[in-house]
Amino acid sequence: MISFRVIPSHPDDRGKNRIRVGRDQMRKLGISSGDVVLVTGARTTAAICLPSDGKRLSHDPEFEFFYDTGTKLPTARLSDITLYNVRDNNLLSVVQVKKANAVEAHQVILSVREIFFYRKENLVLQDLYGMPFVKYDRVRIANTEPNTKFPFVEFVVVDASPDGETYIMTEKTIVEFAPYKTKISHVTQLSNLKQKIQLGKKILDKRLEIALESLEIYDEGCRFLLDIRYVFDDPKEWVENRMYATMSISDDVGNNYKCADLRETSSRWSEDSPQYTRLVGIMVPPIKNNASRLALEINELTWQIRQKKDLQFIDQTNSAIKKEPTVVSVRQHHKSMYMITQGPWRFEIDLR
């Protein structure tokens, strides 16, 4: 398994289950162009792996590292479908990739993601041939209905056979369609709180403070709360206050858990005080009964930023819109910038 830093999709991969990595990394993974791999972020999906051409796109992000630890991850381009299937719309900085052993799907059951009327005979099922997937992946099928405003219909794989982790569609795969019942989400829903552990643990690292406030244990998994403060070298403004943390979780009896969802609940910024973000995460599966300790290790923190001087254009645009009512919208193209702080930082949690 190899970790990759995510960069924008290749323009030829839109709507397809693909990932592009360097040829050196493909050799290390033991794969060739067109092989199926498993890609893991907040959840795991399957994708066709192709070699990246090494060319930069105009909107490729810039990365700035606060501490040079000597660890520079290789980059991977995930298609829009693959990115959605691993992250559930959270900012994602790192994914893990490994070779997959895909089996031919005998039968697949699909359900529309939203309430939507379609005719099966208008769907181009040939789009699915050769497509890798795991259960609960999103798939997109072309819609040939005349005069439609929706050239594609999006489905979720609600079931597949035979039993397995990774599948691939073939011409022999029987595709069935289930009626829409409820919106399917990748986010684990927690219920029946069993225990709440107040922690208040803090780690101080130069200008960084990470506080693990609490852990809530549920039947389906756990919820944890992180408060993070950081002082930047020079004045910078976060874009939409977006932040992401990559982490690993294990217990004292050899079980591993994963962060299935990570969301911000609040954030603050000012020039004369530290940047602040509160993150709430959900980890699955449920904690094993024989576990007495957890180790939560944060590998890195990533902020999406824009320098303050780049915000002057937005102020000027807002002033122009107020003065000229005929201007209804202005779209600003900008290069994303990410500040990365690498750990690891480790919290030990006593469950007894």
27-41, 173-187, 260-274: least confident range: 173-187
Question: Is the predicted pLDDT of residue 271 greater than 70, yes or no?
Answer: no
* CB-based contact 89:20 (threshold 8 Å): no
- 133-142 burial, b at 16+ Cβ within 10 Å, e below that, comes to bbebbbbbbe
- Single-letter residue type at 6: V
CA distances from 29 to 2, 33, 281 (A): 7, 11, 30
Sheet order of strands, 103-104 included: 103-104, 167-168, 132-133
SS3 readout for the chain: CEEEEEECCCHHHCCCCEEEECHHHHHHHCCCCCCEEEEECCCEEEEEEEECCCCCCCCCCEEEECCCCCCCCCEEEECHHHHHHHHCCCCCCEEEEEECCCEECCEEEEEECCCCCCCHHHECHHHHCCCEECCCCEEEEEECCCCCCCCEEEEEEEEEECCCCCEECCCCCEEEEECCCCCCCCCCCCCCEEEEEEEEEEEEECCEEEEEEEEEEECCCEEEEEEEEECCCCCEEEEEEEEEEEEEEEECCCCEEEEEEEEEEEEEEECCEEEEEEEEEEEECCCCCCCCEEEEEEEEEEEEEEEHHHHHHHHHHHHHHHHCCCCCCCCCCCCCEEEEEEEEEEEEEECC
Provide the percentage of residues in the chain whose pLDDT is more than 70: 82
Model pLDDT for residues 96-135, shown as the tens digit of each residue: 999 999 999 999 999 887 767 778 888 899 989 999 999 9
Going from the N-terminus, what domains does the chain have, and what CATH number goes with each?
A: 2-99 (2.40.40.20), 103-178 (3.10.330.10), 193-315+335-350 (2.60.40)
113 vs 43: which has the higher pLDDT: 43
CA distances from 313 to 306, 326, 331 (A): 12, 19, 11
What's the whole-number mean pLDDT along residues 138-151? 86
pLDDT computed for residue 182 by the predictor = 54
pLDDT computed for residue 238 by the predictor = 55
How far does Cα 197 stand from its chain's mean position?
A: 28
The CA-CA-CA angle for residues 204, 210, 215, to 5°, reads: 130
Per-residue confidence at 313, pLDDT binned at 50, 70, 90?
very low
How far does Cα 299 stand from its chain's mean position?
A: 16
Model pLDDT for residues 58-105, shown as the tens digit of each residue: 778 888 777 666 667 899 999 989 998 987 555 567 899 999 999 999
| Closest-CA residue to 236 (of 340, 307, 339) | 307
| Distance linking the first and last C-alpha atoms of the chain | 33
Per-residue confidence at 324, pLDDT binned at 50, 70, 90?
very low
* Distance between CA atoms of residues 246 and 336, nearest Å: 19
Question: Is the predicted pLDDT of residue 195 greater than 60, yes or no?
Answer: yes
* CB-based contact 69:342 (threshold 8 Å): yes
CA distances from 189 to 43, 262, 283 (A): 14, 13, 11
How far does Cα 286 stand from its chain's mean position?
A: 21
Number of Cα atoms under 13 Å in the Cβ half of residue 193: 7
